[in-house]
Amino acid sequence: MKQLKLTGFVIFLFFLTESLTLSTKPQDVDDVSITQKFIEENVGYITIIIFAQYIQEASFEEVEMLVKTMTEYRDKCLADMTLPECSELANDVLLENICALEGLPQKHNFSHCCSKVDLEKKLCFFHHKKADVGFLPPLPTLDPEEKCQTYKNNRESFLNNYIYEVSRRNPFVFAPTLLTVAARFEEMTKTCCEEQDKANCFRTKAEPVIQYLKASSSFQKNVCGALIKFGLQVLESINVAILSQKFPKIEFKELTSLLEDVSSKYDGCCEGDAVQCIRGRSKVMSHICLKQDSISSKIKECCEKKIPERGECIISSNKDDRPKDLSLREAKFTESENVCEERDANQTSFMAEFLYEYSRRHPELSTPELLRIANVYEDLLKECCHTENPPDCYRHAEHRFNETTEKSLKIVQRECERSQNLGKEDLKYYYLIKLTKIAPQLSTEELTFLGKEMVTALTTCCTLSEEFACVDNLMDLVLGELCGINENRNINPDVDHCCKTNFAFRRSCFEGLEADKAYVPPSTFQGLFTFHTDLCQAHKEELQRKKDRFLVNVVKLKPELPDAELRSLLTDFTNVVVKCCQAEGPEACFNEEGPKVAAKC
């Protein structure tokens, strides 16, 4: 494989053998020729991503076997595309070859998927993915000097292994995003290996890459969760809100056309069909650039970039300026005499147009808030259109919209006040206790992750001028992580109700949740109060992780305890670590102090 050169979203197709309807427009033809070359050079990377995401338990050696098989398949089909096997879709070929690896289906418990066909087979592999990756060993870390030497000695194996490790730990992240991460990782490696202080260079440059991966993962899981749990209409509403805010000058007819491309790509992306996902994304970016004059004034430079770079550029571009002639309100939805008739003629299109008009006029609102407003309007019309005088009823819609936003704003203000009053560390402990009481069935790893994400959302947003939209958007992504992608994910009845009843209002639903009354805690929690000298060797970050885990596990064991008592136990744990690590015999000290903490529980 040649060097992987890309930044931003990777827009490419998978195999040349995929059927493609080519446009005669020069830009489209150019797009295809560029992607074909990219495909030829990067089949191995794409194979690793798909295999590692589907079968996370697979070893690197097993993944390399499949890469060899798929590379041979590619070479054979490039030499003679008339061969019968070359007419199959790439994802189908890949799954067939995964199933054909001797003993692998039985070893990793997916043989039942191999007996299925077509969509059922694809969905079976999708449901085999595990969001909680606590079963995997810790991500291997190399000393910076060793990392650079390994890269220098065998670049291909080094990058393959990196993509494998990241992909299996992020099974729902779209393939183009993972390839972007891999490209940035290589760029970082080449730069830092030339530096004298390699360790500091890696630390500094890794942070934005990690943040990009986390942000992309959260958004993709949230949107896919919406599609799988609530269906295409909710997904399309999300896309209408996002695109209308980003491109406020786009005409509704053009938006509707773009939405067909945007929404269709998610079927493949969310089911884990990387091929369909990649093709769909390429189609979206081509559409935007071909119609850029009527869509946005901010993307001209992006569309002049080569295909691998332009997608990221478009996504990262600023929201376009609101058209100067755009009125503050669209009267046709609240003042027209014929609203009910227009709604009844085509309810889906009518509601999409309302959301479009409201979103492009309100760049200050979050995506969830725009969906709430649309929900409120839809419910209002159901009520008004059955009255004797509908116009008199829906004329007060703006008042309902403002009430809805005020309620959401108060939630954000309370959270930001709490963030300011408690400080970062105490805020984290607040959310760890709250989340564990609400959803004690989640793993300790999931709960500590969610708690930290809540804190990140608030500490990132609460001092910004766009505080409301920022907090509401990020907190909604955290709830998306909690609810998960799969429609069959069950936590407990109250949480499941909030996750599955109404996508737009799940935030306010969670606000009202209390501790799970039906939860039966374990009688004991093995090893919870058994402390060892490894606590004394742990660096600051690792010790903090252990404290977080301790608090979550104490809540799981004693959820009925008031928050203050739970915090007191955490303080006791912290004091024991300080005391015993300073003692002459730390292990003996831990053996003596551990039971004392347990006795208070």
Q: Rg (Cα) of the chain, in Å, rounded?
A: 26
Share of the chain above pLDDT 90, in %: 68
Domain count, the chain: 3
Q: Is residue 429 in some structural domain?
A: yes
Q: Read off the pLDDT of residues 468-489 as tens digits, 9 standing for 90 and up.
A: 999 999 999 999 999 998 777 8
pTM: 0.87
Q: Is residue 123 in some structural domain?
A: yes
**Residue that terminates a domain, selected from 456, 477, 512:** 512
Question: Residue 44 carries which side chain, given as an amino acid letter?
Answer: G
Q: Which residues contact 264 (CB under 8 A, 6 or more apart)?
A: 280
49/193 same-domain check? yes
Q: What's the gap between Cα 220 and its chain centre?
A: 4
Cβ(491)–Cβ(441) below 8 Å: yes
445/555 same-domain check? no
Sign of CA dihedral 108, 112, 116, 120: negative
CATH number where 36 lies: 1.10.246.10
Q: Read off the pLDDT of residues 411-425 as tens digits, 9 standing for 90 and up.
A: 999 999 999 999 999
Q: Is residue 557 in some structural domain?
A: yes
Banded pLDDT at 310 (limits 50, 70, 90): confident
Q: Read off the pLDDT of residues 221-234 as tens digits, 9 standing for 90 and up.
A: 999 999 999 999 99
Q: Is residue 241 in some structural domain?
A: no
Full residue range of the structural domain in which residue 540 is found: 533-600
554/587 same-domain check? yes
**Residue that terminates a domain, selected from 176, 198, 220:** 198
Residue 102 gets which letter from DSSP? T
453/566 same-domain check? no
Q: Is residue 431 in some structural domain?
A: yes
Give DSSP secondary structure letters for 34-52.
HHHHHHHHHHHHHHHHHHH
Q: Read off the pLDDT of residues 176-192 as tens digits, 9 standing for 90 and up.
A: 888 889 989 999 999 99
167/61 same-domain check? yes
40/187 same-domain check? yes
Q: List residues forming the annotated binding site for Zn(2+).
A: 273
**Residue that terminates a domain, selected from 168, 198, 228:** 198
Q: Is residue 442 in some structural domain?
A: yes
Provide the mean pLDDT of the chain: 88
**Rounded average pLDDT over 124-140:** 88
576/479 same-domain check? no
* 268 pLDDT above the threshold of 90: no
In angstroms, the CA 487 to CA 138 distance is 28
List C-alpha distances in Å: 598 to 160, 527, 532, 552, 577.
46, 11, 15, 15, 14
Q: What per-residue confidence (pLDDT) applies to 86?
A: 84
480/574 same-domain check? no
User: Which of 9-23, 219-233, 371-385, 533-547 comes out lowest in average pLDDT?
Assistant: 9-23
440/469 same-domain check? yes
Q: List residues forming the annotated binding site.
A: 273
Q: Is residue 392 in some structural domain?
A: no
Share of the chain above pLDDT 70, in %: 93
In angstroms, the CA 239 to CA 233 distance is 10
Q: What per-residue confidence (pLDDT) applies to 180?
A: 85
- In degrees, rounded to 5, the angle at the alpha carbon of residue 226 between the alpha carbons of residues 220 and 227 is 90
Q: Please report which residue ranges of 272-306 form alpha helices under DSSP H.
A: 274-290, 292-295, 300-303
* 556 pLDDT above the threshold of 90: yes
477/576 same-domain check? no
Q: Is residue 323 in some structural domain?
A: no
**Rounded average pLDDT over 103-111:** 94
Q: Read off the pLDDT of residues 154-178 as tens digits, 9 standing for 90 and up.
A: 999 999 999 999 999 999 999 888 8
430/573 same-domain check? no
540/500 same-domain check? no
